[in-house]
Structure 1
């Protein structure tokens, strides 16, 4: 018998609701502004759906700004939410299902949804209802701490940033801002942990290959 969080591969999860246009005027989307949009989709999917995970992806330009110019926060990317709910499929014992909702940042519209059925209900971490420092403010703090310098060293490889709240929650709540280097897929190039109450950088981590002169803008 299959145990643990095994996927019921032969059983479809409860069908995802039809994609609907955005109902709020908040562009580009952030984890906070897109949350009501994703939550509405989850409520239409299964009434007991609860947030399991949320992350923001920022796609930066592939070149650094000219020297002396201030670079605005990139507006492109995606916001991804995963919801979980109890669900029982045909001829199956009680289990759970997850719904993934992908929101495009420029339009704040849901562009993709998918569902998966699970043999057991995934554990739901307690998410803070709100933080004093928003996801985009956390990115700006990470940029000032080390992120911008990291990206600008070789932007053709370092143009992707992911943001999420560390779970399970710890005190104080913390944002994890992770910068990727496309030359390595198995680990983050740079991580900046941000205090979600004050916006102060708490820790730097990660490891990435050096940038060659030809990689610089």
Structure 2
């Protein structure tokens, strides 16, 4: 059993984005998603720091110091894309103009509660960012994260142990092991990586899992990303 890489998680989430959707990309794995949308599909990516029309990551040597995403990673701008004032970027969120927000998370509960702004670790500063606005303003919240913590503890929990960003907002979870829907009837496993079975996945997940009758193997292409350039903030230091 081989878990997906962060880029493969982003690839899998990108395949579910519908034509013409306006999609916010949160810090972490979600920022990788713009590089993996099928070429024939138009998806308009939004970044809370003031960009509408984010494109894929730039090729090495083509980075623009004036064009970064919410995580301060270099990005590109699609034809017709634009810079906007930070306040206008949040007006798009608060005005209900975003179809989907892809967010990272520290924990998600079985009922879709989201905890993604603090670990309460004094050595790891909290980062509220726009997550609380997105949890209310975006029409759908999907989470991209690794299935367990670095110590192997489940990150999909009966009840979040960390302070909540918002209750009951997450509708789908993409992890390095599975794709799981949050439904009124509980957590439904739609896909699992090759070699994984429900019993093993359950041992890594606190809430009860149900296997969808039409579940499929979670497959992603091999991805060897180019070595990223230093973040803009790092170069300026």
**TM-score (normalizing by structure 2):** 0.22
